[in-house]
Amino acid sequence: MKDIINPNVEIPDEQVAMAFFRSVRWVNGVYCPKCKSYNVNNRGNQGRTRRYVCKDCGSNFNDFSGTIFHKSKIPLNVMLYILFNLDEKTTTQLSEELGYSRQCISRISKLFRDKLLSNPEFFDIEE
């Protein structure tokens, strides 16, 4: 994991971030992203994620499968820090605080804005 450049930046602990993510992702219980079945087995942990197998379709998946975090190498706690500070800080400020390139922060910010913040499924935007 990369060291954060600015020691005054308060980034949540990775375990706390994963617990928060799981509570949001699996709010109604763990289900298969492929067939939507709740008939799944926990196959243990692999790194920071839990692995599962669907008893109905046989699909293997983890906490991040089917999400925007699926192939990210940036720790979840850093990603959540970026998400929670999108409106308060510039890309340059986040880049300087976190020690990642402006391009990396910009890509993540765009991903959050495109997939989450502008998604009508999450926000009821009245015109």
Q: How many domains does the chain contain in total? A: 2
Please indicate, yes or no, if residue 1 is contained in any of the structural domains: no
pTM (two decimals) = 0.74
72 and 61: one domain?
no
pLDDT digits (tens, 9 = 90+) for 90-126: 999 999 999 999 999 999 999 988 887 676 665 555 5
Specify if 45 maps to a domain. yes
Query: 50: which strand partners?
Result: 45
Residue 125 lies in a domain: no
Question: Which residues are CB-neighbours of 8 under 8 A, at least 6 positions away?
Answer: none
CATH assignment of the domain containing 24? 2.20.25
Mind listing the pLDDT tens digit for each residue in 33-65?
999 999 999 999 988 899 999 999 999 999 999
